[in-house]
Structure 1
């Protein structure tokens, strides 16, 4: 999918395919049809000759306000998982079935449906958080916070809620309108988290390598590679040998490579302006 020309990337299919890799019971084609049906239902709420703002309000109402159009069951934040620690909560399919989501699944659905009904939307990132960038007919760009009814949010408010460095913004780590290819990378973070949860460090490093080949400054892949290297060093060596000097000579190169990868990718992320999020973020 990353090898496709930008114009041929289908974000709905990408997200559902990644969900299927995490949960093989996911029927990609069935959910694609459901998304098409939902988009058609949103379009029925348009006035004649709708403006971009008309389309935006129709989508907001369809998703977040209770009514017959959504069976009086609007989509909402999952208050039982406030910090988004439940991996299933990152799946679009889980959000569609439960109507409870988080700052990963909620902007993904808004992005996909919004694109289908003709809105100029893109995904963006803040520390431990995704949100939406909306461009109107005049070319003005607004932040939309999909965990709160897709309300308008200023950059300054976002930075107050999720502290980030000027350097990270300058280097495109945060607050940028992602291209579709960059959005595929952002969607792939759920798969990295799945590999981490399952302690599948080899696939986690392999996916990180591939993502960094497509975007050398993609910080989430750096952090996952650093953490996977640390875990492999711990499992392969630190639980078996009292000190590094006890490691057999033929294994010391492997030990040093893992230590160097851990430090290199951590330092690289920091050099781009990333910082450890404060507690609660």
Structure 2
């Protein structure tokens, strides 16, 4: 029995005051097979996200990349990122002002290394724009991979760089103090952007802000949860729905406060003919502040 469903994802990308709205259509076509074998998460990934250990986001990002590209040599990319960090370390230490530190990283990534936003794939539909190794290979990235590399470098340099969610978008933040920070829009060369730009361009509602769905300063656990969620959606597009569910459930375990994960779980369960589980996850998503109409 085939059940077909088309899900519209609204990918928004902006560069300062300019907004580009992308409608990327992902088709989830589910073939229900009695007695199908349940897919599990790779043991190395399961170990990395274990509740009993601190998550290494770089390790996880490389492991997830290898899940979709088994032929890659993870050590090559690890060395490449570590080399970037070493190249920045000395100069970063000499600067006290956060804006100067941000400027150094921007200069290095977007001028010296020539990393750019992939204008041909603003919806990040291509696999290379969903995983860190694709960004390192192509030197072009998305609002997934570009903030991820920035975040990894910032954390390894012991800078107070945070991971931030907006609707269908991620960016970085330099946390100067508890209520003082600098937003870094990596898809625009690391330019500084005020909260108001994100709130306006992504139509973030007051209720979503009050429930802290978006615009929060997040860390390794939440970043890792988002990477797992993205991997789950990758498998969903490949019609590997058991694997998709496992990654999405792992994401929810790491970060039980992210409504988007439950929304995606709801969609997949619905298309798999499991209305009860779909309804349960949709209810949870709405309790956490997900607003279907707003998106």
Q: TM-score, normalised by structure 1?
A: 0.80
Question: Structure 1 residues 75, 100: closer, same or farther in 2, change over 3 A?
Answer: same
Partner of 1:252: none
1:18-167 to 2 correspondence within 5 Å? 18-46=64-92, 48=94, 50-65=96-111, 69-70=112-113, 74-136=114-176, 140-167=180-207
CA contact (8 A) 1:185 1:211 kept: yes
CA, structure 1 residues 216+138, in 2 after alignment: closer, same or farther (shift >3 Å)? closer
| Structure 2 unaligned regions, length at least 5 | 1-47
Q: 1:261 aligns with which of 274, 277, 281?
A: 277
Q: Which residue in 1 is equivalent to 2:30?
A: none
Compare the two structures and name the one with the higher helix fraction: 1
What are the Cα deviations for residues 165-223 of structure 1, in whole angstroms up to 9, with x where unaligned?
22223333211111211111011122111111111112222232333233322223212
Pairwise CA RMSD of aligned residues?
2.2
Give me the whole-angstrom Cα distance separating, in 1, the residues matched to 2:99 and 2:56.
24
CA contact (8 A) 2:85 2:157 kept: yes
The runs of 5 or more residues in structure 1 that have no matched partner are: 234-257
Q: What is the aligned counterpart of 2:219 among 174, 179, 189?
A: 179
CA contact (8 A) 1:123 1:132 kept: yes
Per-residue CA shift, 1:23-63, capped at 9, x if unaligned? 11222222111111011122354474554433221101001
- Larger C-alpha radius of gyration, 1 or 2? 1
Shift of 1:77: 0.7
Report the CA distance shift for 1:49/1:108 in structure 2 as closer, same or farther (over 3 A): closer
Counterpart in the other structure of 1:251: none
Q: Match of 1:79, SS?
A: coil
Candidates 214, 220, 235, aligned match of 1:195? 235
Check whether the contact 2:92–2:101 (CA below 8 A) recurs between aligned residues: yes
Separation in structure 1 between the aligned mates of residue 50 and residue 218 of structure 2, nearest angstrom? 17
Rounded Cα–Cα distance in structure 1 between residues aligned with 2:248 and 2:92? 42
- Is 1:170 the counterpart of 2:210? The answer is yes
Quote the offset at 1:275 in angstroms: 2.6
Partner of 2:24: none
What is the count of residue pairs matched by the alignment? 248
> Secondary structure of the equivalent of 1:124?
strand
SS class of match (2:290): coil
CA contact (8 A) 1:55 1:117 kept: no
Residue by residue over 1:234-254, the C-alpha shift from the partner in whole angstroms, topping out at 9 and shown as x without a partner, is xxxxxxxxxxxxxxxxxxxxx
The CA distance in 1 between the partners of 2:251 and 2:122, in whole Å, is: 28
Flag the structure with higher strand content: 2
CA distance in 2, matches of 1:76, 1:55: 20
- 1:225 shift after superposition: 1.3
2:250: which partner in 1? 210
Contact 1:92 1:105 in 2 (8 A): yes
Bigger drift between 80-89 and 101-110 goes to 80-89
CA separation of 1:22 and 1:59: change in aligned 2, threshold 3 A: same
Cα contact 1:123–1:131 (8 A) shared by 2: yes
Instruction: Tell whether the 8 Å contact from 1:167 to 1:272 is kept in structure 2 after alignment.
Output: no
Q: Give the structure 2 partner of residue 245 of structure 1.
A: none
Q: Which has the higher contact order (CA 8 A, sep 6+)?
A: 2
